[in-house]
Structure 1
Amino acid sequence: MMSPVPAQSTPRERQFSSYRTLKYGTLADQVGDLWLPEDPEALVVLIHGGFWLPQYGKDLMSKLASDVVSRRWACWNLEYRRVAGPGWKDFNSTLQDITAALHFLKSPDFPQGLPVALVGHSAGGHLALWSQLSPGASPEPCAVISAGGVLDLCYADEEALGGGAGAVARFLGYRDVSSLKREVSPIDMLPPCRVNSLPPEEASRGTVPRARIGLVHGKRDDVVPPEQSVRFLVSSTCARVPCELHMALDEGHYEVLDPKSVSWRAVISMAAQSAKTAAAPETLGILRKGQGVPCRATCRPSGSVADTAGGARR
């Protein structure tokens, strides 16, 4: 029997398959792959998922990185310390790495002055939104997009997402989630609901991100159920924080890792719209003054994606 002939890459695939691995820290997992086309128009930061476990790494996002750079956008595909991996002490190791990797964008290795979009999948969606809901978030991107993200850690813990004792319990070292929720759970880091009268100390808590918040979720996701994104959308709307949800009706958790998927097209659309808005001359002054780029929740049909601003489409 003849051996199969290896598939030959096309010139286009070869053109967008090279990158440099850069260290943003001294430890083995404090690295990222920088994909840099000529004259990039924007920069996309990719944060992979895998329930914060060490057996899942940045290679999960390599096809997406190649797609990003084919659009003349630079791409920073992150690695970070994960549960029980090399150099990992507790959940703060992971959070510190995300912060350090984003600060590293200011280094001379990166093109400066470009619109930046953060895109995270699954646990990476948690980390992307966490980074912008933390006080003093830097840098401030034009968009932060969660695809199938774990955004409500208390609810995820109740549902034991990730199997066994549950991914959230492992990530937090089996500490009480409710005692940490305002430090680590994106939905609980939002400002409180504005329809209620609150004491001053409650009314002032929480962070309003300056980035456009986008959520993408497969309606058939049985790994991280779409309720994670729907609950975040409801809480953000109640807190008057603009947010939009795109529900891919016929996709699950992993389809977004395919550049041809409906979910990934929704991610790219959000990133492109935000980058275009951020680069427009009338918004440059807003950005320099440190004010947020205007954005709004949307509710419009777009083929097989349901854009929802008030709940899941049934």
Structure 2
Amino acid sequence: MIRWEHPPKRRTERRRKGRMPMVTEIREARGCRNPGEDEIATWLPTRRVDHRIAYGPEAAQFGDLWLPRSSSPDPNGYPVVISIHGGLWMSEWTHEHCDRMAEAFSDAGFAAWNIEYRRIGNTGGGFPGTFLDVAAAVDHVRELAKDFPLDLSRVVVVGHSAGAHLAAWIGARHNLAHSSPVYQADPLAIRGVVELSPIPDLQRFYDLVRDVYPPIQDLLYALSGTDSDEALAEILPQISPARMGPVGVARTMINGESDPTPPDVIREFAAQAEQAGDEVTLVFFADANHFALGDPGTELWDAIVERVRDLA
């Protein structure tokens, strides 16, 4: 049974009753300005990044660390946001897509670690390189904490689109078999995952878009290091969070109602996570498109920061 609640006018909530964990659904009714794909390609931060730091020897193995300039750290350090950019896992899309988002998180009092990683089109991109890079970048926060005031007990991973897939993968990677090529021992503990325009189930995503976007087949083959649907299905338990077991930390899935992925599919993703044992908050923004969720200039941004702060 679904019970609708009516808190302040800007949103409505519903919570699925039954066993814990649960899915809490929230609809944010505020409107927003929707940026286009061409616009986000030219997004620029308002200041220079504080530190660019390599976590590996390859050209794409680095991150940008943005530190708050208007606040001092807590006694244990700043809470940390790790941001993972999207772009269908392709090399044409870079960490710069999330620069403004990382800057905005630092303005909100977080240390923001905006990571780059090898992608499809880069030497070593795809499986296993993309996943090993993202894992190494996340775990490198331990090294960053030796030189900067970071609170390792308050780390939240935020990803947009394909980056949301990788953020959920980071949360679920502790379930990987030791024999997996993408297994890494002793992963950094995180407090939560925020998935903006989530893609936690690669098979469902593939089935949803392949008729309208045929290149998705080659992209997922490249991402998985396979060359057939049968081979892809075999490797999904290592790279698709929906097949990997519980993330084990709080998850917030945020989607725009004007996103190409319909709300009912996002609800399927949340239900899968609940069935795996995760507690999920599901947030829909009325009228928002795919790109609005990554734009700190929209009216939605404060609500997204609130969700991240709740997890940290």
Tell me, yes or no, whether TM beats 0.5: yes
Structure with bigger strand share is: 2
Q: Confirm or deny: 8 A CA contact 1:156 1:168 kept in the other structure.
A: no
CA drift of 1:72 comes to: 1.9
Identity %: 28
Match of residue 65, structure 2, among 5, 25, 34: 34
Q: Confirm or deny: 8 A CA contact 1:151 1:229 kept in the other structure.
A: no
Distance (Å, rounded) in 2 between the aligned partners of 1:144 and 1:94? 19
Q: Over aligned residues, Cα RMSD in angstroms? A: 2.1
2:119 corresponds to which residue? 82
1:213 corresponds to which residue? 251
Matched, 1:165 2:203: no
Matched, 1:148 2:197: yes
Q: Which amino acid aligns with 2:221?
A: A
The two structures have a TM-score, normalised by structure 1, of 0.71
Matched, 1:236 2:273: yes
CA drift of 1:86 comes to: 3.3
CA drift of 1:165 comes to: 2.9
1:118 corresponds to which residue? 157
Q: Which amino acid aligns with 1:104?
A: H
Distance (Å, rounded) in 2 between the aligned partners of 1:165 and 1:48? 20
Matched, 1:184 2:239: yes
Distance (Å, rounded) in 2 between the aligned partners of 1:32 and 1:228? 32
Q: Which amino acid aligns with 2:80?
A: L
Deviation string for 1:247-296 (max 9, x for gaps)? 11211100012114355333311111122xxxxxxxxxxxxxxxxxxxxx
CA drift of 1:110 comes to: 3.8
CA drift of 1:156 comes to: 1.4
Q: Secondary structure at the match of 2:156?
A: strand
CA drift of 1:93 comes to: 0.4
Match of residue 131, structure 1, among 156, 170, 173: 170
Distance (Å, rounded) in 2 between the aligned partners of 1:188 and 1:44? 25
Distance (Å, rounded) in 2 between the aligned partners of 1:82 and 1:134? 19
Structure with more relative contact order (C-alpha pairs < 8 Å, separation 6 or more): 2
Match of residue 131, structure 2, among 95, 101, 124: 95
Match of residue 107, structure 2, among 70, 78, 89: 70
The two structures have a TM-score, normalised by structure 2, of 0.72
Distance (Å, rounded) in 2 between the aligned partners of 1:50 and 1:137? 28
Distance 1:226 1:124, change over 3 A: farther
Q: Secondary structure at the match of 2:128?
A: helix
Distance (Å, rounded) in 2 between the aligned partners of 1:70 and 1:112? 15
Q: Which amino acid aligns with 1:76?
A: W
Distance (Å, rounded) in 1 between the aligned partners of 2:262 and 2:115? 24
Deviates more, 1:156-165 or 1:179-188: 156-165
Q: Secondary structure at the match of 1:113?
A: strand
Distance (Å, rounded) in 2 between the aligned partners of 1:109 and 1:58? 23
Deviates more, 1:48-57 or 1:180-189: 180-189
1:289 corresponds to which residue? none
Distance (Å, rounded) in 2 between the aligned partners of 1:22 and 1:46? 15
The runs of 5 or more residues in structure 1 that have no matched partner are 1-12, 191-206, 276-314
Q: Confirm or deny: 8 A CA contact 2:224 2:239 kept in the other structure.
A: no
Q: Which amino acid aligns with 1:52?
A: W
Matched, 1:272 2:272: no
Q: Which amino acid aligns with 2:168?
A: L
The runs of 5 or more residues in structure 2 that have no matched partner are 1-44, 175-184
Distance (Å, rounded) in 2 between the aligned partners of 1:208 and 1:159? 23
CA drift of 1:143 comes to: 1.4
Distance (Å, rounded) in 2 between the aligned partners of 1:82 and 1:52? 5
